[in-house]
Structure 1
Amino acid sequence: MSRLRLTSSFASQFTRPLSVTRLPTPEPGLVDAPAENAEALRSLLASLKPPLSPSAVDDALEYLATSSTTAFAEDAQSRALRDALVNQVAVGLYSRSLDEYLHEATEIEAEADWWSNVERSQLNVLVFLIQTLPERLTRVFRTIVETTRAQHMPLQLSVFSPSSLLRLFPSTAFQPSALTRAFFPHLENEQTLSVVWSRPSSRTPRFLHSIWSALFLPLHLTREECRIKRRQLEHMRDRRAEQLGRLADLRTVASASQTFPSTRLTAILSELPVEPLDDLQHVQHISSMLIPNHIEAHGAELAQLRRPSRLSLMWPKLLLYPPLALLAVRSLYNSRASLTQMALDTKETIQGFIKNSLVDPIKEVLKTVRTGGEDGVIVRREGVMADLDSLERMALSLARDHLNYTTAQLDDLSKQIRVGDLTPVLQLYEEDIKRPVKSALTGTLLRSLFIQVQKAKVDIDQALSGIDKLLKSQELTFAFVGLAPALVIVGLASSYVSRVSRGLFDRGKFGRSKKRVVAWGAMRRIERLLVSPPPRVHGVKSSALSDHATGMLLISVTRLRAYAEANLPANSRLRDGFLEDVGDLEDPAMPREEKLRVVERMWRFWGPELGWSSVAAL
């Protein structure tokens, strides 16, 4: 018997309450079962404990298939053991079916998302057309060869001329030719087309129509191909979700029953009326026919809708990158002298920027903070004091020689000069100016005039000293203003380098943006399903979700769990809390309103941390 897929963690946890079974105890008055049968059955039942091991389920299936039914008909104890074993195997197959349908649905949705991403961008459509060009040209060549052989024509180079191809593969207004259908296989099943295939009308210039056909028509048809495959995959996913919802609802029925309803499981998997069989026959039919046939049919159906192979997607890079790399290396080698000089200039520029615009200004800032700016900026304090002392000596000398001041008067005049009061000198100047010529020759006019010149110089020095104090008070501000452009440049460069390095060498703190987009889409779908109008059962609104909604909810929750297990830090509060909320959404017993509260909590707690608002626009 072929081994089937392993069960997922979700299926194991989902079916755990159904797999908790007590071994039957011997009843008085019953004939003891044969030792070999009883021991084998008890050993198999003991191995089928939650979480159910797939290998244990397969071993039980092999034992039930090889053992004859008469071996269990001798006594009631053997029949009880066999029934318990069949029930546990049915639970294991139920878990396996859940896992299989869930795996298929998530696989289908991943393929649909890939086609959606290609369809969303015109550039992606062009790249996809180039990537699949060899396969398309191969189909076209095969079609030409088959057509020429069917018409008993010799295969010559002239057959591949445009005129010969138009005669061999004519097209109508709304039906493309066989050659076009070979290039775009999705046109085989299209009844109507959104583009006109006829030749250009008299009102449309042939040249413009040819340009439109050569440039835009292939892109349009390629996008249509992506759209058709995406829709087929979504329809396929919806069917899986419908069956997955029915399988999930079966747990409620199984929880209320003493034995697992194998008949209903067979009906869900086969989607056909079920013949009246016993549980053992149903289990054997599910394990040997329904699940393997479904896996094979799924693979055949999905093979036509999968994305191209990795080699098909990579061949343009494999073809273009080596020559481009060779040209780049050759160009760099030929320009090694200029590149060396450029590197040296760049090095000197960076060193000069760091030293002159960053390091030296920082040293000046630190010096200003440490010393407080003791030195003058415009004038020095000693120079101002020297000019003031010179003015004082000149005024005192004039007062002593011509005004005959006493020592006390000279002391008072000295104090007046310190505060800028030169009234005695000015009075003497006023008297001398009345007789300017005589005073200039024999009097004190020139001395008083020179004293006023010295007073003007002192006033200018004091004004400059005030400006100097103002500048010193803002010296730290000026130092930071001079440093700010360099800091801005360094900050922008560091941010750019960090962003580039994170994009090239790091997958992000919580996964790449594409992974977070998947989680964001799953969260949005879960909330949309939970707020959707409830279905009506016999004209009455039901609080339960429909089968399709239940299946889609499980698919979305599984994608959230896969994202958390692969991208969130292990053993962190973030991951543990996220998985706890995912487990609440997986719980079929939790009402819809409670699940909506869980969704709100996840948006509130994990949305900002995982950056869902920033990746929503991708």
Structure 2
Amino acid sequence: MPTALRASLTQALASLPAPTAQTLDANTLQRLRTCAALGAALARVRSAGAVDADLARVVYATYMYLVHTLAAATHAIHEADRYWTCMYRSRVRAGMLWLQTLPARIATSTSHVFRRPMPGFGVRTGIHTLQRESHAKHVRLRRAEDAMAKALGTLALAWYGRATDASLPQQIQALCEAGCTALAYKPGKAPQHSTPLQAVATLLDAVAYHEASVARVLQVCGTPSVLTRTWPLLVTYPLISWAATHYLYLHWTSVSAQATWAWDTVRGLLLDWVYEPTMRLLRTMRMGRAERSMLVRRDSLAADEQSLERMVLAMGRDTLRMNDQALAQLAAQTRDGNLTAVLEVYERALASPVRATLSGQLIRTILIQVQKAKVDLEVALSAIDWLLRSQELLIGVAGLAPALGLAYLLAWGVGRVTSWVWHRPASYRTSRRQRQVDAWEALRRVDQLCIEADDKASAELAYGRFLLHIRMLRTSFEALLPKLSRGDRALLQRLSHEADHDLMALERVEPLPTSTAHAWTQRQAVVARMWRSWHRLLAWDI
């Protein structure tokens, strides 16, 4: 129910004189939720003497009840229209509806089986027929929604435009006539000059007639019952459960083996390819390069180089008869890897291998070259070890990345399934994304009304749609603001106050048709401010 209109009606009820004995007060009248209860309240007023203030109190309460009923009925019609719109736009949804309504259509066609086949009973023809019917219901519901919006706008404009300086009976007559006009009710026998009591009774008859017509529309064009929509699942789930239980009973050994294999696979992925490499990588980062196990120890390489140098110097003293200066130069060449002197001795020994072997020179040079090859191998391994140490973190991360990717995909899949099972929305209306879309759509349509509304358009229809969109905005904000405040009650109260202030500013703009253009211009300024203030709340992640 529009907040500003409700506040105005409540204020008008409070300003009336005290009720007569045996009649209902304003608080009790506001709590009435049926037309029959309002009729009983009118009967109390009639029996008590029909004071104008008591009649006005019933009329104001009837207006409040009508506004609330029209808003609720429009919401139900809008939801039904959304349902049938999805049906005629999607063949898959229409096929599901064909399956859901199959028992009802079979029961309906039983009496026609032996006379003539029912048209549209085949699957393809039936789906096409359902889509045509869904479109027809969509058109009818859209007309009903426009009629509801026009009735709401007529009531609101009649209330705001009432002549407050007129007498109370005249106000009662005017409000009752406006209510009957809004509800498109024409009494069969209406006296030319009816009393206020008769006018109020006619208004309640119009309310009852309107409720019956809305109930007929929802009965014909409303969404199917819960049983109709869920019977395929109620039938399928027990069958699937029985089949799954029977299969598990017959193949328990194989299924348990497959489950064990899957568990071992996941466990091996997480432990052997994720946990242990991660621990090794962390140990590498903690220890650094100095404490890492190397391919060749530095002391071993230094000892082999010193041994090679001693072997070459011994050959230089014993075989080549070098002095100290020549030996120092030979030692420097050996440290640089230059064994030219040893190779020359080796080449001369090859000229007479037998004598060189017997004298030991050939074997000595060969052993020196073996030691040189050992030193060269250790130097190469040291270079490889340095390269590995310099790229150790990169190699560890590169080896860990594929396993982390697989683990992330596994965790993401399990999380999505768990979230869908435990946190899925109860219905299409209650999801947060849908609330955002509803609020965005309502604010967009309010903006569109502010731009396109003019004096030639129906002021009642435009204002009724405007009030309904405001109601949708308020409902969506009430659902979205707690999520935005993240449990902070103080922040929630501040945000709710600001949102309510903006919505009240939209509703409080002068609604009279005489100032329509100026009023819509003022509303457009408020809508622009709301777009700037609440765009983050209305935006959804793409």
Normalising TM by the smaller chain, what interval? 0.7 to 0.9
Task: Give the distance between the partners of 2:19 and 2:498, measured in 1 at CA.
Answer: 39
Give the deviation of 1:476 after TM superposition.
Answer: 1.6
Partner of 1:333: 249
SS of 2:507 mapped into structure 1 = coil
2:179 paired residue number? 265
Aligned mate of 1:299, from 215, 240, 243: 215
1:527–1:599 contact (8 Å) kept in structure 2: no
How far apart are 1:13 and its partner, in Å?
A: 4.4
Whether the aligned pair in 1 keeps the contact of 2:443 and 2:469 (CA below 8 Å) is: yes
Residue identity matched to 2:284: T
- Structure 1: give runs of 5+ residues left out of the alignment: 1-9, 26-37, 73-81, 145-159, 170-178, 185-213
1:499 Cα deviation from its structure 2 partner: 1.0
Confirm whether residue 245 of structure 1 aligns to residue 169 of structure 2.
Answer: no
Aligned to 1:29: none
> Alpha-carbon deviation of 1:323?
2.7
Deviation, 1:125, is: 1.2
8 A contact 2:87–2:94 mirrored in 1: yes
Q: Does the Cα contact within 8 Å between 1:392 and 1:417 map onto a contact in 2?
A: yes
Tell me how far apart the structure 2 counterparts of residues 348 and 68 of structure 1 sit (CA, whole Å).
87
Equivalent runs, 1:372-391 vs 2, <5 Å: 372-373=288-289, 374-391=291-308
Counterpart of 1:507, as a letter, is R
Contact 2:305–2:375 (CA<8 Å) still a contact in 1? yes
Query: How has the CA–CA distance of structure 1 residues 347 and 496 changed in structure 2, closer, same or farther, with 3 Å as cutoff?
Result: closer
Distance 1:436 1:583, change over 3 A: same
Letter in 2 for 1:302: L
1:601 and 2:520 are equivalent in the alignment = no
Out of 532, 538, 548, the residue aligned to residue 461 of structure 2 is: 548
Q: From 68, 72, 88, give the equivalent of 1:119.
A: 88
Q: Give the partner amino acid of 1:592.
A: R
Q: How does the TM-score come out when normalised to structure 2?
A: 0.80
**For the residues of structure 1 that align with 2:503 and 2:15, how far apart are their CA atoms?**
35
* Alpha-carbon separation, structure 1, partners of 2:74 and 2:107: 32
- 1:48 paired residue among 1, 26, 29: 26
Give 1:578 deviation, angstroms: 6.6
Q: How far, CA to CA, are the matches of 1:23 and 1:577 in structure 2?
A: 30
Q: Which structure shows the bigger proportion of residues in helix conformation?
A: 2
Give the whole-Å Cα distance in 2 for the aligned partners of 1:432 and 1:318. Answer: 96
Alpha-carbon distance between aligned partners in 2 of 1:119 and 1:457, rounded to the nearest angstrom: 84
| 2:6 aligned partner | 15
Aligned in 2, Cα 1:48/1:443: closer, same or farther, shift over 3 Å?
A: same
The 3 A distance-change label for structure 1 pair 592 and 272 is farther
Task: Quickly say closer, same or farther: Cα 1:104–1:437, change in 2 above 3 A.
Answer: same
Task: Tell me the CA shift for residue 483 of structure 1.
Answer: 1.6
Residue among 41, 65, 68 paired with 2:49 = 68
Deviation at 1:498, TM superposition (A): 1.1
Aligned-residue Cα RMSD (Å) equals 3.9
In structure 1, the residue matched to 2:132 is 224
Query: Does 2:229 match 1:313?
Result: yes
Task: Provide the secondary structure at the position in 2 that maps to 1:20.
Answer: helix
**Which whole-Å CA distance do the structure 2 matches of 1:600 and 1:473 have between them?**
56
Instruction: Give, as a single letter, the amino acid of the residue that structure 2 aligns with 1:391.
Output: L
User: Which residues in structure 2 correspond to 1:73-88 (within 5 Å)?
Assistant: 82-83=52-53, 85-88=54-57
1:348-427 superposed matches below 5 A = 348-373=264-289, 374-404=291-321, 414=331, 417-418=334-335, 420=336, 422=338, 426-427=340-341
Change (3 A) 1:488 1:237: same
Superposed CA deviations along residues 196-223 of structure 1, whole A, max 9, x for unmatched, are: xxxxxxxxxxxxxxxxxx4422221121
Match of 1:323 in 2: 239
Correspondence 1:175-194 to 2 at 5 A: 179-180=117-118
Structure-2 residue corresponding to 1:559: 472
Counterpart contact for 2:480–2:537, Cα < 8 Å? no
Question: Taking structure 1 as reference, are residues 598 and 115 closer, same or farther at Cα in structure 2, changes over 3 Å only?
Answer: farther
Amino acid at match of 2:128: H
TM-score between both structures, scaled by the size of structure 1: 0.71
In the alignment, which residue of structure 2 is the partner of 1:474?
Answer: 391
Instruction: Give the counterpart letter for 2:110 in structure 1.
Output: F
> What is the identity percentage for the equivalent residue pairs of Structure 1 and Structure 2?
25
The answer to whether the aligner puts 1:346 opposite 2:315 as a matched pair is no
Q: In the TM superposition, what whole-angstrom CA distance separates every residue of 1:67-103 from its partner, at most 9, and x where no partner exists?
A: 225xx6xxxxxxxxx53x5444433222211111111
Q: Deviations over 1:342-373 (max 9, x none)?
A: 22222333332232112221221122112224
- The offset of 1:266, in angstroms, is 4.1
Counterpart contact for 1:15–1:95, Cα < 8 Å: yes
CA displacement 1:474-523 (0-9 Å, x = unmatched)? 11221122222221111111111111111111136998785633641452
SS in 2 for 1:180: coil
Task: Provide the C-alpha distance between the structure 2 equivalents of 1:98 and 1:131, rounded to a whole number of angstroms.
Answer: 35
| Mapping of residues 158-177 of structure 1, within 5 Å | 160=114, 165=115, 169=116
Q: CA deviation at 1:398?
A: 2.0
SS of the residue corresponding to residue 495 of structure 2 reads helix
One of 554, 573, 588 as aligned partner of 2:507: 588
Give, in angstroms, the shift of residue 396 of structure 1.
Answer: 2.1
Which aligned pairs between 1:440-519 and structure 2 lie closer than 5 A? 441=356, 447-448=364-365, 450-507=367-424, 516-517=433-434, 519=436
Equivalent residue letter for 1:180: M
Q: Secondary structure at the match of 1:569?
A: helix
Contact 1:510 1:567 in 2 (8 A): no
Identify if the C-alpha distance between structure 1 residues 343 and 22 changes in structure 2 by more than 3 Å, giving closer, same or farther. Answer: closer
1:194-209 correspondence to structure 2 within 5 Å = none
CA distance in 1, matches of 2:231, 2:41: 48
- Quote the offset at 1:324 in angstroms: 2.8
When residues 375 and 413 of structure 1 are mapped into structure 2, their CA distance, relative to the original with a 3 A threshold, is farther
- The CA distance in 2 between the partners of 1:432 and 1:331, in whole Å, is 83
Report the equivalent of 2:518.
none
What is the aligned counterpart of 2:101 among 123, 128, 132?
Answer: 132
Q: Secondary structure at the match of 2:471?
A: helix
- Between the aligned partners of 2:385 and 2:145, the Cα distance in structure 1 is 79
Cα distance in 1 between the residues matched to 2:220 and 2:110: 21
Q: Tell me, in whole angstroms, the C-alpha distance in 2 between the residues paired with 1:121 and 1:372.
A: 63
- Equivalents in 2 of 1:529, 1:15: separation in Å? 20
